[in-house]
């Protein structure tokens, strides 16, 4: 037994020894077979994959979820191949399986890691029941451009929130024991920097300074490794001139060298062969060389490895030792999943799809994800006993499929309960619902139903407008240059508003939308994202006051698309904007001289602030923050300070508030953001209750990666805020000194 194995826990020792024993029996071709994942959704897979399985040429299959088929594939691999190595069964289980949860961006709006973990557990159990043992989630790319379609799959713009929710998702998928029935291996993606693609165009180039990579884009992945994630996936994008799939710096030097990652890295879909398209390599052979030597252990849905790695090893350009390292990592995960002991799935041993618990979690996730953006004059909640009729208008009020969102290969549309359905169930015959779809879909510019919508509004006591974007308008390869409400929705809002009735907008979308065209045309806005299977009941409970909104924005909402990128943790710059320094385009004289005196960083044609800031979200009560304080005005490096505030529920209903702690490092060897989220708590208060909310803040949490690439805590003055959004006003300060 070598020293490395001897130092492992007993179970890990057994696995390490088993891996090495198996490796010693494998031919080079069989090893490379373990590094190959194939698409298996074209007909009856055992027929056309059988011979390759028997020859040991496949390590994983993707995109088949028929349990009988998968059990047969496993049987062939285990019983009819020379070494009997079971398969990894991959599937994109992004936000639920049969039971669909809110899109990840919506789940991020809950600011509730426990609930996110429960949602991932529901998804894992349903996926495992279908034979899946490996999912390509969570996506933990920091996403600061709402034009990017894949922001829907993300947890938003914040490093801390993304890190916390990514780790929670991993725990939900993998459980305490990967070998336990119902646990599946997670895959943190896309490493690294994918969320920073130019212009929000999917697959485009990213250019990110190393200090920003380390302080922002790497950190959720480091947290995922610390949380024990089994696998990582590379990004499609070019990173600083070297596409991530061929980038040895991030995959070997950082991921394995610095962070000690022991799982394996899989490419994104055919991204190894795409290295040639990027212009990094001349052909598939060179692409296989670049990816394998960079640190990609398994190829997804391509054949560069199977076609070219044997020859590259024979030539001596790729060492068999590096192949062994990759295969050992893959085999280790298979052993940890318990596949060598039981490769087969018994569906009866796992809970039924869409069981009561699954639907309960889906509803609670939807309920906590909805963000009340505005609520003028207490327009919400609606009092059903005071209304005789409500106009329900819009293309997304009764759209079962659309409310499920992007990436729902296995979602059951028949389980989906829409807002219109839920309102009919809740209200029965007590309130008349006048439903007018008004538009065939969210993109429609045919407005021949608008008169009917206006008439319904005229005859009703209040109007619920269900607006937004269909599920197909967000997700992979579905980026948008204009992120306003599509189609003729703005015109619909204006025509309904002209009737003079209370108008509440409920917006279902896969990203932050620019709402400046309608924000002043409605009395209240509930932002529901794509809320999943139980979106309708959740929205209905909120509209009629059976629950109070508690969601908070995980991403900044710009006023206009030209403000992008706009996010809460931007840097100050040398000329930060303020109310005193900005000039509007309409205020410029015709013959005004060009000058920079007194100017600052802003756009002439819009406000310098966002429409809604990161962390924003209202309630049906009013929460007040008072008396912020610190436990010490000065602490040394290595110590902690406690930041506290008095939180009061000044209303008449019990409700939840997400309390947020932000800090600013005023002076650093590298300039630091104006605010960084350092903690959050979801707190529920009774009417008129006041409670002290405290955060422990260790100096390690204020560290950053400096010019030398090393993580450091620097002495100096820090500001701290506690509040209900990134616009928190309650501020205090403390100083960090060198060690005493």
Residues counted in the chain: 740
- Pairing of the two strands 640-649 and 690-698: antiparallel
* d(C-alpha 235, C-alpha 237), whole Å: 5
Q: Which tokens go with 576?
A: 């930060």
Signed CA dihedral, 19, 337, 346, 96: sign only = negative
Determine which helix (DSSP H) or strand (DSSP E) holds 119, and give its type and residue range.
helix 113-129
DSSP state at residue 48: H
Q: Is 268 a catalytic residue?
A: yes
For residue 662, count other CB atoms closer than 10 A to its CB. Answer: 28
Angle made by CA atoms 509, 409, 112, in degrees to the nearest 5 = 50
Radius of gyration of the chain (CA): 27
Contact 202/148 with Cβ under 8 angstroms?
yes
SS3 label, residue 168: helix
Q: What angle do CA 583, 585, 588 make, to 5 degrees?
A: 75
Q: Is 553 helix (H, G, I), strand (E, B) or coil?
A: coil
Q: Which two tokens stand for residue 594?
A: 């060009």
The three-state secondary structure class of 141 is coil
Please tell me the distance from the alpha carbon of residue 174 to that of residue 721, in angstroms, as a whole number. Answer: 35
Nearest to 56 by CA among 30, 27, 76, 23: 30
Q: Where are the beta strands (DSSP E) in 113-246?
A: 134-135, 187-191, 231-234, 238-239, 242-243
Tokens 């070997």: give the residue. 252
**DSSP designation for 514:** B
Torsion 193-199-202-205 (CA) sign: negative
Burial group, residue 406, by CB count within 10 angstroms (0-12, 13-18, 19+)? buried
Pair of tokens at residue 424? 């009919």
The DSSP output letter for 268 is S
Nearest to 653 by CA among 579, 505, 547: 547
> Could you give the CA distance from residue 95 to residue 92 in angstroms, rounded to a whole number?
9
Question: Which of the following is catalytic: 141, 268, 297, 488?
Answer: 268
Q: 74 near 86, Cβ under 8 Å?
A: yes
Tell me the C-alpha distance between 36 and 59, whole Å: 6
Secondary structure (3-state) at 411: coil
- The pair of structure tokens assigned to 716 is 């100096």
CB 264 within 8 A of CB 330: yes
Q: At what angle do helices 320-336 and 284-294 cross, to 10 degrees?
A: 70
Task: Name the burial class of residue 738, with classes exposed (0-12), middle (13-18) and buried (19+) by CB atoms within 10 angstroms of its CB.
Answer: exposed
Give dist(CA 511, CA 555) in Å, integer: 9
Residue pointed to by tokens 């309650």: 730
CB-hemisphere CA count at 13 Å for 405?
36
Active site residues: 268
């Amino acid at each position: 037994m070598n020293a490395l194995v001897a130092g492992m826990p007993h179970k890990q020792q057994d696995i390490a020894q088993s891996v090495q024993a198996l490796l010693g029996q494998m031919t080079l071709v069989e090893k490379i077979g373990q590094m190959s994942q194939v698409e298996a959704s074209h007909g009856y897979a055992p027929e056309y994959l059988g011979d390759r399985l028997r020859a040991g040429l496949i390590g994983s299959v993707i995109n088949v979820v028929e349990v009988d088929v998968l059990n047969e594939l496993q049987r062939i691999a285990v019983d009819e191949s020379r070494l009997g190595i079971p398969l990894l069964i991959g599937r994109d289980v992004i936000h639920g399986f049969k039971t669909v949860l809110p899109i990840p961006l919506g789940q991020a709006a809950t600011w509730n890691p426990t609930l996110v973990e429960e949602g991932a557990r529901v998804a894992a159990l349903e996926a495992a029941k279908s034979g899946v043992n490996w999912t390509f989630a969570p996506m933990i790319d920091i996403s600061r451009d709402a034009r990017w379609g894949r922001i829907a799959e993300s947890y938003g713009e914040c490093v801390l929130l993304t890190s916390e929710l990514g780790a929670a998702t991993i725990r939900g998928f993998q459980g305490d024991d990967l070998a336990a029935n119902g646990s599946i291996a997670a895959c943190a993606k896309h490493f690294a920097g994918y969320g920073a693609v130019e212009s929000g165009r999917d697959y485009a180039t990213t250019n990110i300074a190393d200090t920003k990579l380390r302080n922002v884009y790497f950190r959720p992945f480091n947290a995922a490794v610390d949380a024990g994630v089994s696998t990582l996936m590379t990004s499609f994008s070019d990173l600083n001139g070297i596409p991530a799939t061929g980038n040895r710096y991030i995959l070997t030097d950082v991921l394995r060298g610095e962070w000690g990652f022991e799982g394996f890295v899989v490419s994104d879909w055919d991204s190894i062969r795409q290295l040639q398209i990027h212009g990094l390599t001349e052909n598939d052979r060179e692409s296989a060389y670049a990816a394998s030597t960079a640190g990609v252990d398994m190829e997804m849905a391509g054949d560069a490895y199977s076609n070219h790695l044997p020859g590259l090893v024979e030539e001596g350009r790729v060492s068999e030792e590096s192949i062994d390292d990759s295969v050992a990592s893959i085999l280790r995960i298979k052993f940890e999943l318990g596949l060598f002991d039981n490769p087969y799935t018994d569906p009866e041993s796992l809970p039924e799809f869409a069981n009561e618990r699954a639907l309960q979690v889906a509803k609670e996730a939807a309920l906590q994800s909805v963000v009340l953006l505005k609520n003028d004059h207490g327009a919400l909640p609606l009092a059903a006993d005071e209304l005789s009729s409500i106009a329900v208008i819009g293309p997304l009020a009764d759209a079962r499929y659309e409310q499920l969102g992007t990436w729902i290969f296995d979602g059951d549309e028949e389980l989906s309960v829409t807002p219109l359905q839920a309102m009919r169930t809740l209200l029965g015959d007590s309130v008349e619902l006048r439903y007018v779809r008004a538009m065939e879909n969210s993109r429609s510019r045919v407005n021949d139903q608008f008169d009917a919508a206006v008439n319904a509004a005229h005859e009703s006591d209040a109007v619920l407008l269900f607006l937004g974007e269909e599920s197909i308008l967000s997700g992979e390869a579905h980026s948008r240059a204009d992120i306003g409400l599509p189609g003729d929705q703005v015109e619909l809002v204006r025509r309904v508003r002209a009737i003079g009735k209370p108008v509440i907008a409920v917006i279902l979308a896969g990203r932050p939308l620019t709402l400046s065209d309608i924000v002043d045309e409605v009395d209240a806005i509930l932002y529901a994202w794509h809320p999943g299977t139980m979106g309708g009941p959740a929205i209905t409970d909120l509209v009629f006051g059976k629950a109070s909104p508690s969601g908070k924005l995980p991403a900044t909402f710009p006023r206009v698309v030209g403000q992008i990128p706009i996010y809460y943790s931007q840097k100050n710059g040398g000329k930060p904007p303020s109310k005193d320094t900005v000039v509007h385009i309409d205020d410029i004289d015709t013959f005004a001289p060009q000058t920079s005196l007194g100017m600052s960083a802003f756009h002439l044609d819009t406000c310098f602030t966002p429409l809604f800031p990161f962390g924003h979200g209202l309630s049906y009560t009013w929460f007040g923050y008072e008396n912020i304080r610190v436990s010490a005005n000065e602490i040394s490096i290595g110590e902690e300070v406690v930041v506290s505030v008095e939180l009061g529920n000044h209303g008449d209903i019990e409700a939840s508030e997400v309390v947020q702690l932000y800090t600013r490092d005023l002076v650093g060897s590298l300039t630091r953001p104006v605010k960084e989220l350092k903690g959050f708590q979801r707190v529920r208060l009774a009417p008129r209750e006041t409670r002290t909310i405290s955060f422990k803040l260790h100096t390690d949490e204020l560290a950053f990666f400096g010019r030398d690439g090393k993580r450091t805590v620097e002495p100096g003055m820090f500001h701290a805020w506690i509040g209900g959004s990134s616009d928190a006003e309650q501020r205090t300060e403390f100083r960090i000194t060198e060690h005493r």
